[in-house]
Chain A
Amino acid sequence: MNWDIIFGVSIESLINATMIAYALAAIGLNVHFGYTGLLNFGQSAFLGVAAYGLAMTVSTFGLPFWTGILVGLAGAVVLALLLGIPTLRLRADYLAIVTIAAAEIVRLLFRSVSLSEWTGGSDGLQRFSDDFFTMNPYSSALEIGIVSFDERELWVMTVGWLLIAISLLIVFLSMRSPWGRVIKAIREDEDAVRSLGKNVVSYKMQSLILGGVLGSLGGFIFALSRAAVQPDTYGTEFTFYMYTIVILGGAARVFGPVVGSMIFWFLLAFINALLPSLISEGYIPSWFMDANQAGAVGFILVGLGLVLLLIFRPQGIFGDKKEVMLDGR
């Protein structure tokens, strides 16, 4: 058994770019679901629009990197408006239906053959991150004990953690302000908020935009860390992992999504590294599970863990159990 690699991979996934991308996406989703009570099942679309906004601007149209970032952010805002204007006046469930459908539409548009001239179809796009990596101040890889990152990864991680810090600061400041109070009150009962003279639809829209833009930062990190965009990564399961992360960390907690993402990826990486090596060493008999099945079993175990979490700690890591129990109105 090569424990160095198993633990090395697991510890790396505590802080690497994938975890950062999911954390940013979950921070945005936490604004929607945790604070405002908006059932957004299309968060992956916000990441997809941002990633493709960047990739298409640079790779397809040959415009500068920063223009691409602006296009990506603007894309997230436009998507929020498109989703919100028809649905936010209606009951909460409609947003869930519309967002999950919209996310699929966005993904299918990206992979459609007729648009492949611009989007690269199911192959996606590459070569849009050169400008980003020329800004890289790191010139050598980092190796501490069993953990190692190359210089490109280090640069993405530095920017990613900076974005996480900024996002958390924005969430922290806005949610403890009167604005955040209105947002949380809308989650509890929007008619009551309306009766107190607040424009509920406008606040829900603001929340949808804020969460979408924060999520789009995750889309940039995800695309840059791979130096490629590929339509099928932005499928619905992406959104469901984000929900897992938000609930794991504790909904409506500032640090919940980040810690949730760390735990999620640590466990997933650990199981995905451990199982194949247990199989190859013969500790798990091949009639029971072969190496190809190990990946799926990893997700099964994560799902099992989640079920247990919801039974024994429904408030997540940071949540307050009393608060969650109040919901049984």
Chain B
Amino acid sequence: MADDVTVPPGVARAREALKDVAHEPGAAKPDPILIADKVVRRFGGLTAVSVDHIEIQRGAITALIGPNGAGKTTFFNLLTGFDRPDEGDWKFNGKPLAGVPAHKVARQGMVRTFQLTKALSRLSVIDNMRLGGTGQKGESFWQSLIPAIWKKQEQEITERADDLLARFKLDAKREDFAGSLSGGQRKLLEMARALMVQPDMVMLDEPMAGVNPALTQSLLGHVKSLREDGMTVLFVEHDMDMVRDISDWVIVMGQGKVIAEGTPDTVMADPRVIDAYLGSHHDGTEHDAAEVAAEVDAPAASPAAAVAADQAPGAVDKPGTVDKPGAVAADKPGPVAKPEGDKADE
């Protein structure tokens, strides 16, 4: 993409603003559009989300990453009103949003997309787009019966929808049922439809899931262009290349908490993040770096051994994650030692 060569103004602005922000969980931002405090959501005994403090910088692209089950989507649902927290407050553009129903959140300018794309199948692509228009007079029942009341507004909305369709290269599909689009095109349509609401902040839940690589580039370009238009983007994503490519700031969640924050490069080098993804506790069998290096070097002739060495910590971790790993190590030294033995067999 051409915009990699010269830095576009939106990127420069966002990077400049985030330059001096501390790389730590809950760091204060110079101009936050969203501030959340002590947001907690429990499902029975499981605390899915427990975020102490989080700020999202206005006009920047912020990525929310974390291993499966870290509570990213739940946190999304809470912020956008699709789920209710057990406790917590958050402010969007200075207005408190806790307890506000989803449709009112959207009207205030925070619009989301879904992990499982929600194209409205049996509506045409253009009708999908028109639906996003806000404040439509024809959406009240009695006024809908008299076309003269809403015809003009409908035209304006259609023009705006057509512009967006052209930008997202869906104009050729204008009259088709949304259900006939491919998975990637549905993602594009969903994003374009969200823009019809004219939001200040766009929340994308795994925008790249199930999209083929060719379309990924185009989707990435669209996400970047949102920043150039002055919108704030918060997105959940698993694809680290994408995160590194487009985000100005990365927030990492693990087991419901924010465990790290920072620019993409610093976060990905952060040991806490690597721990969160690969499992942190090795039950007293913590590898010291030199030992691992020696092990990797020694059986270089058989690559299988290196693979086994990589996988072993995960295997050890599985039974240990739920309980307190230290306790397990103390009580049952046998099973903990066993993976080491396995490795030696290899």
Contacts and interface: CB of A to CB of B under 8 A. Distances in A.
Interface of A: 170, 173-174, 177-182, 184-185, 187-189, 191-200, 206, 210, 322-323, 326-327, 329
22 contacts: A170-B145, A173-B147, A177-B147, A177-B150, A178-B130, A178-B144, A179-B138, A181-B130, A184-B127, A185-B123, A185-B131, A188-B120, A188-B121, A194-B102, A195-B80, A195-B111, A196-B106, A196-B197, A198-B103, A322-B180, A326-B180, A329-B179
A177 B123 contact: no
The 5 closest A-B pairs by CB, nearest first: A178-B138, A177-B144, A179-B144, A326-B179, A197-B106
A192 to B, nearest CB: 4
Nearest to A206: B141
Given A181-B130, A195-B114, A189 B144 contact: no
Nearest to B137: A178
A326 B121 contact: yes
B212 interface: no
A180 B150 CA distance: 13
B32 interface: no
Nearest to B120: A188
Contacts of A195: 80, 82, 102, 106, 111-114, 118, 194
Contacts of A187: 122
B175 to A, nearest CB: 13
B99 interface: no
A258 to B, nearest CB: 20
Interface in B122-171: 122-123, 127-128, 130-134, 136-141, 143-145, 147, 150, 154
A192 B120 contact: yes
Given A191-B82, A194-B102, A327-B122, 11 more contacts: A178-B150, A179-B141, A191-B102, A195-B80, A195-B113, A195-B114, A196-B106, A196-B196, A206-B141, A323-B122, A326-B121
B343 interface: no
Contacts of B197: 196-197
A186 to B, nearest CB: 9
Contacts of A182: 131, 139
Contacts of B130: 178, 181
Contacts of B140: 179
A191 B150 CA distance: 25
Contacts of A173: 144-145, 147
A100 B281 CA distance: 55
Contact of A193 (B131, B138, B190): B131
A323 B176 CA distance: 10
B121 A327 contact: yes
B277 interface: no
Contact of B145 (A174, A193, A197): A174
Contacts, number: 114
A200 B106 CA distance: 13
A194 B118 CA distance: 11
Interface of B: 80, 82, 101-104, 106-107, 111-114, 118-123, 127-128, 130-134, 136-141, 143-145, 147, 150, 154, 177, 179-180, 190, 193-194, 196-197
Nearest to A177: B144
Nearest to A192: B118
B185 to A, nearest CB: 14
Contacts of B112: 195
A182 B127 CA distance: 10
B145 A181 contact: no
A188 B139 contact: no
B136 A185 contact: no
Nearest to B118: A192
Given A170-B145, A173-B144, A177-B147, A197 B103 contact: yes
Contacts of A189: 118, 120
A165 B206 CA distance: 48
Contact of B144 (A174, A185, A329): A174
A194 B82 contact: yes
Contact of A194 (B103, B132, B139): B103
Among A173, A177, A326, which residue has the most Cβ atoms of chain B within 10 A? A177
A188 B111 CA distance: 19
Give the most central of A178, A182, A198: most B CB within 10 Å.
A178
Contacts of A199: 101, 103
Nearest to A326: B179
A224 B132 CA distance: 45
A170 B144 CA distance: 10
Contact of B138 (A177, A191, A198, A329): A177
Nearest to A173: B145
A46 to B, nearest CB: 18
Nearest to A172: B145
Nearest to A188: B120
A191 B104 CA distance: 13
B135 to A, nearest CB: 9
**Most B-side CB within 10 Å, residue of A197, A210, A322, A323:** A197
Contacts of B194: 195-196
A68 B268 CA distance: 73
A327 to B, nearest CB: 7
Nearest to B121: A326
B139 to A, nearest CB: 5
A42 B121 CA distance: 27
A277 B133 CA distance: 61
Contacts of B193: 196
A194 B107 CA distance: 10
A135 B343 CA distance: 97
Contacts of A198: 103, 131, 139
A178 B196 CA distance: 14
A177 B132 CA distance: 14
Given A179-B138, A180-B144, A200 B118 contact: no
Given A178-B138, A195-B112, A196-B131, A322 B177 contact: yes
